[in-house]
Amino acid sequence: ALDAVAVRYRDAKEIKYTDGISIAYDDFWFNVRPSNTEPLLRITMEAKEKGVLDARLREVMELVETV
């Protein structure tokens, strides 16, 4: 799933692979990482506008759920 995120967001302003994968653009950023205590992925995301947050969160969740 992290590889799919890296491919999908390869045009990001910044990509870091510390503690999962962190992707940054001018108007939002997010981190996807495996949980240390549960068999699931954790997504942390912030955006300058709620509409951007809602749309991007939906997009990332759909991406990791299909992998």
Give the amino acid at 22.
Answer: S
Classify domain 2-66 by CATH architecture. 2-Layer Sandwich (3.30)
**Short-list 27, 21, 29, CA closest to 4:** 21
User: What is the full per-residue pLDDT of the chain (67 aa) written as tens digits?
Assistant: 999 999 999 999 999 999 999 999 999 999 999 999 999 999 999 999 999 999 999 999 999 998 8
**Short-list 48, 44, 39, CA closest to 21:** 44
**Ranges of H-type helices in 1-67:** 2-8, 50-66
Residue 7, burial from CB neighbour count under 10 angstroms (0-12, 13-18, 19+): exposed
Give the pLDDT score at 67: 80
